[in-house]
């Protein structure tokens, strides 16, 4: 047996008799196909996204059940004959809920966030400190010898950023 879920919308002013007819058709189709209903209830009243048959509000119902594949055809066939009582409907095949996806989701953010945290703080620190330390050096470089840019390039925090910037500073000093 396969698990299914059907959501259908009825008019707000549906008569109790007509609603019972719709619910009975669902129960009848499921039992006819050797199935069992796990949930059949009123979900909520909502405003529709767009007017259906000049109606702007509807009541949503949800039915969860297990049965063979013929049940979907039977329910949808019955709904087509209840056009005045059913505004829209949708049936989907569902999978049983498993605990494994929750554990996998919980472990994914932990592994993904650890490298991000390690990488993210490392990159902004040199970028933020490199322009600040190189600005005074740039003013000091034309006045002093070429040993100061070499000293800046040996700094471990700025080594990756000092080479490109010191080259541009050297070019600026040569001009």
Per-residue confidence (pLDDT) for residue 162, from 0 to 100: 41
- Verify that 64 and 128 share a domain, yes or no: no
Per-residue confidence (pLDDT) for residue 62, from 0 to 100: 96
Of 22, 4, 21, give the one whose Cα is nearest residue 60: 22
Structural domain contains residue 113 = no
Which residue, 53, 72, 94, sits at the end of a domain? 94
Domain count, the chain: 2
- Verify that 84 and 148 share a domain, yes or no: no
> Where are any strands of DSSP class E within the chain?
2-11, 36-52, 55-67, 88-94
CA distance 137 to 155: 13
Of the two residues 5 and 169, the one the predictor is more confident about is 5
- Verify that 83 and 130 share a domain, yes or no: no
Give the pTM.
0.54
The pLDDT tens digits for 51-72 are 999 999 999 999 999 999 899 9
Cα separations (Å) of 45 from 16, 57, 83, 92, 102?
16, 7, 19, 21, 31
Q: What is the mean pLDDT of the chain?
A: 74
**What count of other Cβ atoms lies within 10 Å of the Cβ of residue 45?**
12
The pLDDT tens digits for 138-161 are 555 455 444 555 544 444 454 444
The pLDDT tens digits for 79-106 are 988 888 999 999 999 987 665 555 555 5
Per-residue confidence (pLDDT) for residue 95, from 0 to 100: 87
Cα separations (Å) of 42 from 9, 64, 100?
10, 12, 30
Per-residue confidence (pLDDT) for residue 36, from 0 to 100: 95
Of 60, 66, 9, 62, give the one whose Cα is nearest residue 34: 66
């Amino acid at each position: 047996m396969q698990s299914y879920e059907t959501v259908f919308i009825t008019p707000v002013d549906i008569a109790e008799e007509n609603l019972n007819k719709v619910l009975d058709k669902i129960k009848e189709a499921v039992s006819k196909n050797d199935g069992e209903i796990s949930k059949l209830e009123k979900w909520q009243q909502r405003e529709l996204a767009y007017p259906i048959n000049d109606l702007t509000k509807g009541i949503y119902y949800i039915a969860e059940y297990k049965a063979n594949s013929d049940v979907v055809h039977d329910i949808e066939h019955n709904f087509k004959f209840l056009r005045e009582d059913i505004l829209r409907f949708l049936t989907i095949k569902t999978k049983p809920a498993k605990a494994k996806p929750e554990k996998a989701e919980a472990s994914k953010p932990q592994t993904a966030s650890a490298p991000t945290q390690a990488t993210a703080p490392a990159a902004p620190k040199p970028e933020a400190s490199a322009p600040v330390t190189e600005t005074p050096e740039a003013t000091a470089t034309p006045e002093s010898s070429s040993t100061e840019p070499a000293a800046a390039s040996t700094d471990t925090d700025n080594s990756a950023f000092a080479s490109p910037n010191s080259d541009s500073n050297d070019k600026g000093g040569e001009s």
